[in-house]
Amino acid sequence: MSKDAFLFCLVSGAAALALWVACRFPHFGPTKLMTAFMHVAATFCISFALAPTMGLATGGGVLLAVFGVALPALTYMFLAGIWLLRAAQASFPR
């Protein structure tokens, strides 16, 4: 499997996990728009903090870095986006 195909599968899997969590636990997550924006800001901080360290993993640490760090971080990023969309939708009058 090429690196591009693996990356596509990893990101698609993270998105699927985030969608599953959002659908399985609909009342979990922020309800206010500002709190949802804070979660999105936290994902940016996490991604900037983790990006340089991901290239340092060698040997067996690569699997730990990908599945123990990158997959949960990507899942949280997608979940924060879903929460932001949900909070934005709830803030509009019906």
Cβ atoms of 33 and 91 within 8 Å: the answer is yes
Q: Is the pLDDT of residue 67 over 80?
A: yes
* Mean predicted confidence (pLDDT) in 67-73: 89
Locate 60 and state its tokens: 């067996």
Locate 49 and state its tokens: 């903090």
Question: Model-level pTM?
Answer: 0.87
- Give the whole-angstrom CA distance, residue 14 versus residue 25: 16
Of 29, 31, 25, 23, which is closest to residue 80 (Cα–Cα)? 29
Q: Is the pLDDT of residue 76 over 90?
A: yes
- Give the whole-angstrom CA distance, residue 55 versus residue 51: 7
Residue-wise pLDDT tens digits, 5-30: 999 999 999 999 999 999 999 999 99
Of 19, 26, 34, 24, which is closest to residue 79 (Cα–Cα)? 19
Locate 45 and state its tokens: 């901080």
